[in-house]
Amino acid sequence: MGMKRIAVLASGRGSNFQAIIDRVCDGTIPAEFACLITDNPSAYAIKRAEKHDISVSVVSFSDYPDRESYNQALEKAMQESGADLFVLAGYMRLLKPETVRGFAGKMINIHPALLPSFSGLHAQQQALDYGVKIAGCTVHFVDEGMDTGLIILQYPVVVLSDDTEESLAARIMEFEHLSLPLAVKLFCEDRLEVSGRTVIIHDHQDE
């Protein structure tokens, strides 16, 4: 089986994208990059891609007259990438159900909360506002709902009494940078198997 190709979708800073780049470059993740797709022409993620000669597709919402044409352009960019796996790494736009269906089982997302708690935006602040003692992050397959797809990996992070959104987000981020590359690696090594709502992780790849 050939090496898998991964496309990353990111809207901003792209530190999770960088974590994947680092693990591809050091050989931990057996894959090559198809491209970066971003909705934000000034995303710092673009600089990270350029530094590593990863091609960039900018599909900016404001370049299209309506959501429909924007979505068609996004789907086209995704199809043309020829990627086996699409990684949402801080991609801040909801994908339309049709798009998600078209790439079912090939799209994963990182979310800075222990799902199903605190889906959507500002998950870390939501966790603080709720008063939970354990926060964390989740990597999951993307389905048609918002942050409702099958869970691949989760890591807990203890909430401290003096945490702010920034301090908690920073500690969660350390685990995001471990878990997202690990999930990408497991996918690329064909070690994920879906059974009902459970994603089974196989220890070794069948040779």
Residue 10 within binding range of ligand GAR, rule CB under 6 A: yes
Residue whose beta carbon is closest to ligand GAR: 90
123/154 Cα distance (integer angstroms) = 15
Task: State the binding string over 75-104 for ligand GAR (x if CB under 6 A, else -).
Answer: --------------xx--------------
Residue 112 within binding range of ligand GAR, rule CB under 6 A: yes
**Is 111 tagged catalytic?**
yes
How does DSSP classify residue 20? H
- Determine contact, residues 114/147, Cβ cutoff 8 Å: no
Select from 6, 34, 107, 110 the one that contacts ligand GAR (CB under 6 A): 110
Q: According to CB under 6 A, which residues from 14 to 43 bind ligand GAR? A: 14-16
148/26 Cα distance (integer angstroms) = 32
How does DSSP classify residue 31? E
Break the chain down into helix, strand, coil percent, rounded to 5.
35, 25, 40
User: Which residues sit at the interface with ligand GAR, rule CB under 6 A?
Assistant: 10, 12-16, 89-90, 110-112, 123, 173, 176
Active site residues: 111
